[in-house]
Amino acid sequence: MWRRCLWRRGISSSAAGWWDHVGAAPKDPILGVTEAFLADTSPRKINLGVGAYRDDEGRPVVLQCVRGAETKLAGSQFLESLPNAVNTKLVEESVQLVYGKETDIVQERRFAGIQALSGTGACRLFAEFQRRFYPESPIYLPVPTWSNHHNIWRDAQVPVRTFRYYHPDSKGLYFGALMDDIKSAPDNSFFLLHPCAHNPTGVDPNEEQWREISHEFKVKNHFPFFDMAYQGLASGDIDTDSKAIKIFREDGHLIGCAQSFTKIMGLYGHRVGCLSILSVDENQAIAVRSQLQQIARAMYSSPPVHGSLLVSTILGDSQLKALWEEEVKAMVARIIRMRAKLRESLEKLDSPLNWEHITNQVGMFCFSGLSPEYVDHLARKFHIYMTRDGRISMAGVTTSNVDYLANAIHEVTRFGQEDSSQRRSFNAFIPHISYAN
């Protein structure tokens, strides 16, 4: 809740300041991990917090396709805000990427698309738009979900509800409960779905389950909003990873979709994303887009040009695009290798716990099942940093640190009771609506 301060009578400039009552805010649960990691001086430290890809030497990577695009662009662009040209090109490429180039949606321009400040910005624009046109409507978020989803919809003043998604015992999809929650939500509710590589669990519905979900959404007239942050990074294949969206589209749903180029192109610092909302025809799309632009205009006017030029250059150039797809496959391959290695090492140590989920889960993260207490222990004793829900960014695991990691995890868990600790971990994580300031 926003704090209210006492009214102050400032008679002169030396009067008490305006902000004495302002409390220190808690650190962001994800980005705060990196801060703690940076402050740690141990040479053995490992950052498994934020989902940023690292190579096998633990170094950040600038993709070759990105360097190629930069070289192509250097010195040639005008740096003016381009309300149309660059934005339009980025949107064109983005919607083709997620919906498919040849689809009727794209050909008939039945989409309202706007460039956004990465996935966060795209979700926020949608949340504000949802509030503007459905002021009473809540958003249904899966349990668990990326922690910032709660912040985004809350700051847009949209009430948040949740639906069951992950089962801590099976460490898989809680499908029955998920379907129940979809059915019991009031008709016409807004739902947020992760189309692939669910964050933080790495647990995705299979194709058949997606079809059932889509069908139930039709029955209930729910609005599906997809947060697509990992297209390509789940399976290594762009089209495979957008299968869920394809299923929904084929069922006739007019979805909303937030896309992020942050991880899939390694453009973390550039904040490139896209929000699209499908419509029945082009006119409707134009109307919706005009509203989205208004919302963006009052927030930051227009998005930064550089990153979006990189993305549209890559996607618009067949060689660069092919190179990009190869590099995505390579990133995925390395992550899958690390998953296999980690699981193997833990099993070799004769861990009493079941670690199958490490290789079952998909995408950048492993939802380890480690409790907050174990997480803290790993940080304090072993200088290994992850978020307190036990989410491990596999991208931070390397050939040279995987054994140290396995040993550390084994050390803290060897005497622990699996079920209760993991369930405690999971329950502890369920976010509260009244988010602490």
Q: Taking CB under 8 A as the rule, does residue 420 contact other proteins?
A: no
Identified catalytic residue from 89, 263, 324, 355: 263
Query: Whole-angstrom distance between the N-terminal and C-terminal Cα of the chain?
Result: 7
Sign (positive or negative) of CA dihedral 39, 44, 49, 53? positive
Least gap, CB of 79 to other proteins (angstroms):
5
Partners of residue 70 on adjacent β-strands? none
Q: Which is nearer to other proteins, 121 or 232 (CB)?
A: 121
Per CB under 8 A, the segment of 116-124, 162-170, 226-234, 412-420 that binds other proteins is: 116-124
Identified catalytic residue from 181, 204, 227, 241: 227
Q: What is the DSSP letter of 162?
A: E
Site for other proteins in 246-285 (CB under 8 A): 251-255, 266-271, 277-280, 284
Q: Is 227 annotated in the active site?
A: yes
Q: Are 79 and 298 in contact (CB under 8 A)?
A: no
CA angle 168, 173, 204 (to 5 degrees): 125
What HEC string does 65-105 produce?
HHHHHHHHHCCCCCCCCCCCHHHHHHHHHHHHHHHCCCCHH
Q: Taking CB under 8 A as the rule, does residue 39 contact other proteins?
A: no
Site for other proteins in 176-205 (CB under 8 A): 187-188
Site string for other proteins, 133-162 (x = CB under 8 A): xxxx-----------x--xx-xxx------
Q: Which of 139, 141, 257, 305 binds other proteins (CB under 8 A)?
A: 305
Helix axes 282-297, 118-133, angle to 10 degrees: 110
Q: Taking CB under 8 A as the rule, does residue 19 contact other proteins?
A: yes
CA angle 195, 196, 200 (to 5 degrees): 110
Q: Taking CB under 8 A as the rule, does residue 218 contact other proteins?
A: yes
- In a 3-state reduction of DSSP, which class is residue 225? strand
Per CB under 8 A, the segment of 95-103, 214-222, 238-246, 381-389 that binds other proteins is: 214-222
CA angle 286, 290, 293 (to 5 degrees): 135
Q: Which is nearer to other proteins, 86 or 397 (CB)?
A: 86
Q: Taking CB under 8 A as the rule, does residue 70 contact other proteins?
A: yes
Q: Which of 297, 348, 381, 414 binds other proteins (CB under 8 A)?
A: 297
Q: Which is nearer to other proteins, 81 or 420 (CB)?
A: 81
